Amino acid sequence: MNKPNLNKKDPRFKIANREALVGIGLVLFNFIWWYGFAYGLGSQDVNEYNYVFGFPAWFFYSCIIGVTIMAILVFIIVKFFFVDVSFDEEGFEDK
Amino acid sequence: MNWHATISLFGSVAIIFIIGLFASRKSKTSTSFIQDYYLGGRSLGGFVLAMTMTATYGSASSFIGGPGVAYNEGLGWVLLSVTQVATGYFTLMILGKKFAIITKQYNAVTMVDFLKERYQSKWVVVLSSFSIVIFLFSAMAAQWIGGGRLIQSLTGLSYDGALFIFVITVLIYVTFGGFRAVTLTDSIQGTIMFIGTLVLLIAVIIAGGGVTEIMTKLQVENPNLITPFGADGTLTKAYVSSYWVLVGVGVVALPQIAVRAMSYRSTKSFHRALIIGTIVVGFIMLNMHLIGVFARAVLPGIEVGDKVMPLIALDVLPPWVAGFVLAAPLAAIMSTVDSLLLLVSSTIVKDIYINYINPNVTRKKVQILSMSITAILGIIVFLLAINPPDLIIWLNLFAIGGLEAAFIWPIVMGLYWDKGNRFGALASMIVGISSYILFQAYYPDPFGMHTVVSSIVLSFVSYIGFSLVMKNRIQ
């Protein structure tokens, strides 16, 4: 009952599947970074907090650096590991 | 009433509108009205795609409700809110190229189209259309309220009057403009949101005497404000982490987001959108909520959370600039509302009317029908929003969780698991929605995590279970 026009061997799907896995990897990394710094540094007594640029260290590393690192990672991964495919016909674009 | 701020606010909004209407005029040449009105002819570029995702997702809750809660809870709420940076890359990467390729093969215009072709089941279509209409209605009401509140605190008009102005402006241009007008204005609105956030952040830091000064003040008032655990220590690790599901990865399943993931022109635009989207979403979510926290040190004692943003902007900025900056949340709300309106309207016209009631309808009739349904829907939501609850964020999150519980597995597994079938999809939607509603009503936040987590787990089990058990019934 599956779609007749849904070609399972379409080489573009292999690329798509790999890139979806990259997305899962990125989000796991993002979560671990976020959780580690927030609760690793943030759970101690408030009076013991260290500060970076005025922010509590847990917040600075977990949120500010966390968001920055994700933006850089996404940039690198997309630029160097994501592949252009054509949407018009089967197969790849000649590029 | 603050005339300068009011004039520059409405001036900014008017310019956005004129561009939107101009764009929709230009787009009238294309062949299929449905493809064009609801999907912009699948021709979005990278910048427009990134901005329309941001502007659609960044809504009243991120600009009005969210910072209001951050004002009360402190840095813990900012920690919770930055989980949304995941929406910038995860959604597009997961749906990614596969979704665009398949929806193009299916010739799908809406998310329901995709589900219909993938599962070949009338019941899947009916159930998904139904849940979209129900849940997005409550989401829209939340946005209307945010817009009304914002105009109210700036102009001093009554809430009803402010709401009315807001609704009229949105309705006029969504009704006539369609998706392309919406996405184009979205990119202007996204840009305003970005610049507005930056300007306000700097102004608040200066008004507070620097970050160190602000943190010291907060610590003196209540040390919990600068911990990750919230003002009275109630934001637990498990609860805050569960927002990764609600506002991070689960966003994949929101129809208004998914429809954008099928509307781009080429993988080049897609790649650019990933990069721009991550930067813009991360920047806005982090800083908007941070502004809410800082505002507590600058302007203590604000009672209604939703009013924090407008009041702080008027306090720390010259009125002209405040008006422009406040155009950012107003823009965010409008762009969310217009996308939701279009989506509900497309669900009714395309997924229900054309599929099951009258498949041979003429182009002219579809056009009139689409526009009038869009307009009627807007008016109904307006009537719902006249009597609003205090913190719009909860209303909005309720709708988001419900849609995620319903759609995440039928979409994601439908794309990546060939054995998934209509029984799995139906079971998963029914279990997802009903467990979400029941948990919310009788046993909120099981295991200390947001309700959506338990519902998504249950709907996953149902999808796999029913797909495997019923596989012999397919054919």
**pLDDT tens across B137-172, in order?**
777 777 777 788 888 877 788 888 888 888 887 777
Q: Using CB atoms, pick whichever of B83, B102, B226 lies closest to residue A56.
A: B226
Cβ of B249 within 8 Å of Cβ of A27? The answer is yes
Residue among A3, A66, A82 whose CB faces B117 most closely? A3
Check if B201 contacts A (Cβ < 8 Å).
Answer: no
Cα of B14 to nearest chain A Cα, Å: 33
Q: How far is A32 from chain B (nearest CA, A)?
A: 10
* A8 min Cα distance to partner chain B (Å): 9
Is residue A55 included in any domain, yes or no? Answer: yes
Q: Nearest by CB to B93, which of A3, A23, A34?
A: A23
Amino acid sitting at position B151: I
From B219, which residue of chain A is nearest by alpha-carbon distance? A46
List the beta bridge partners of residue B264.
B44
pLDDT of residue B261: 86
Number of neighbours of residue B180 by Cβ within 10 angstroms: 25
Which domain covers residue A64, as residue numbers?
A: 20-81
pLDDT digits (tens, 9 = 90+) for B301-313: 888 888 888 889 9
Nearest CA in chain B to A79: B271
Q: Quick one: which of B79, B11, B45 has its CA closest to B326?
A: B11
Q: CA nearest B349: which of B178, B186, B180?
A: B178
The residue written with tokens 């929806």 in the block is: B103
Instruction: Confirm whether A14 is domain-assigned.
Output: no
Q: Is B275 on the interface with A (CB under 8 A)?
A: yes
The distance of B95 to chain A (nearest Cα, Å) reads 7
Chain A interface disruption, residue of B82, B224, B240, most A CBs within 10 A: B82
Residues in B closer than 8 angstroms to A90, CB to CB, are none
Which class is domain B3-389? Answer: mainly alpha
pLDDT tens digits for A10-55?
788 888 899 999 999 999 999 999 999 999 999 989 888 999 999 9
Contact call for B98 and A20, based on CB within 8 A:
yes
pLDDT band for position A90 (cuts 50, 70, 90): very low
Scored b (16 or more CB within 10 A) or e, B290-320 reads bbbbbbbbbbeebeebbbbbbbbbbebbebe
Decide if A31 and B244 are in contact by the 8 Å CB cutoff. yes
For the stretch B58-95, pLDDT in tens is 666 677 788 999 999 999 999 999 998 888 899 889 98
Give the model confidence (pLDDT) of B330-339 as tens digits: 777 777 777 7
What the block records as the tokens of A52 is 């970076």
B86 touches chain A (CB under 8 A): yes
Q: pLDDT tier at B430 (50, 70, 90 boundaries)?
A: very high
**CA atoms of B261 and B68, how far apart (whole Å):** 31
Name the residue among B75, B237, B266 with its Cβ closest to that of A56: B75
Sketch the domain layout of chain B as residue ranges.
3-389
Question: Residue for token digits 């008032």?
Answer: B221
Report if residue A10 sits inside a domain.
no
Q: Cα(B403)–Cα(B383) distance, rounded to whole angstroms?
A: 23
**Is residue A77 included in any domain, yes or no?**
yes
Confidence (pLDDT) at A5: 47
pTM: 0.85
In a domain, residue A61? The reply is: yes
Is residue A92 a part of any domain in this protein? Answer: no
Paired tokens of B181: 């007008």
**Which of A12, A20, A70 has its CB closest to that of B416?**
A20
> Do B287 and B309 form a contact (C-beta atoms < 8 A)?
no
List B297's β-bridge partners, or say none: none
| Per-residue model confidence (pLDDT) at position B37 | 62
A35·B241 Cβ contact <8 A: yes
A68 within a domain of the structure (yes/no): yes
In the numeric block, which tokens belong to residue B207?
């008004």
Q: For chain A, what is the domain count?
A: 1
Question: Cβ distance B228 to B235 under 8 Å?
Answer: yes
Provide, as residue numbers in chain A, all residues whose Cβ is less than 8 Å from the Cβ of B119.
none
Is A26 within the bounds of a domain? yes
In this complex, do A23 and B120 lie within 8 Å of one another by their Cβ atoms?
no
Provide the pLDDT for residue B238. 92
Judge: A74–B278 Cβ closer than 8 Å, yes or no: yes
Q: In this structure, are residues B239 and B450 in contact, taking their beta carbons and an 8 Å threshold?
A: yes
ipTM of the shown complex: 0.85
Nearest to A87 among B88, B104, B249 (CB): B104
Nearest alpha carbon to residue B30 among B39, B18, B20: B39
Beta carbons within 8 Å of B328's beta carbon, 6+ residues apart: B63, B189, B192, B193, B195, B196, B197
